[in-house]
Amino acid sequence: MIARRAILLFTRAIESEIKAKRFRGLSYLQHQQLYRRLIAHTIDVAQCTQAELLIAADKPAPEFSSAAHFLLQRGQNFNERLQHALADAFALGYDEVLVIGNDTPELCRTLLEQAFSELAQHPFVFGNSVDGGVYLIGVRRTALPHFGMLCNACRWHTSFVQQDLHRAIAALGGSAAWLPPLVDLDRIADLLHVARRHASYALMLLAFLPFMQRPLFYLTHFRVPCSAKRLHLPLKHAPPVLLP
């Protein structure tokens, strides 16, 4: 029997994201553009897999219209909202669910498919964030009764999440798979890290700046070895961006 699989995007509407997490130096309009790009990218990656896309958010929004199901978040804090969202996803009849956020632009289809493959061997799978958190949570239906204990043991939004999960899984006598580490976006430094590796984000940041500030910003943050290839754009848009 083939398992019914879903990817649950656990997010907020764009205006809610801006209120909850802002990046130093960006205007409100620039935050709108950034979060619109992040949410659209995450949806595109999820829909490249064979799993159905679910979105759990604080309120409906046009950017969520492509989901197979929209789930309204409920609960007084992150822990409660996450547990309710996963329970609501399994209530739709799925056997395996991956929970992802919108702030990991390097998440790709290969990692999502690897996560589902790991669920064939383990009841849980997690994606390591380099700051100690997680960018992905995967759960089998049979492990759902234990998920609440894992959540309650976690100090969410701290660098101790991975440590807390390891301890809670050991206390259960269970097992979990761990995916390769990725950067999630919590600070402007994280956004710069991604921009250095992905030209589309570099171009977006350059477009945010006044024209006269772009060359200095470009030279300061995006210099790479001379062997790199150059992507030339008209000067009125941005200076050349170096691609690895």
Q: What pLDDT is stored for residue 211 in this prediction?
A: 46
Which residues of the chain fall short of a pLDDT of 70? Answer: 1, 209-244
pLDDT for the residue 203: 76
180 half-sphere exposure, CB direction, 13 A CA radius: 7
Give the angle subtended at the CA of 121 by the CAs of 123 and 110, to the nearest 5°: 95
Single out the residue of 91, 78, 221, 231 nearest to residue 157, CA to CA. Answer: 78
Closest CA to 122 of 151, 100, 96: 96
The span from the CA of 212 to the CA of 166, in Å, is 49
Q: For residue 238, how far is the Cα from the chain centroid?
A: 28
Of 217, 222, 220, 231, the residue nearest 197 (C-alpha): 222
Residues 6+ apart with CB under 8 A from 56: 8, 9, 10, 11, 70, 71, 72, 73, 81, 85, 88, 89
Helix (H) or strand (E) holding 177: strand 176-182
pTM: 0.84
Residue-level pLDDT at 195: 83
Amino acid at 33: Q
What would the pLDDT profile of 43-85 be if each residue is shown by its tens digit?
A: 999 999 999 999 999 999 999 999 999 999 999 999 999 999 9
The pLDDT of residue 209 is 64
CA distance 214 to 206: 6
> What domains sit in the chain, N to C, each tagged with a CATH number?
5-182 (3.90.550.10), 199-243 (no CATH)
Return the pLDDT at 235: 39
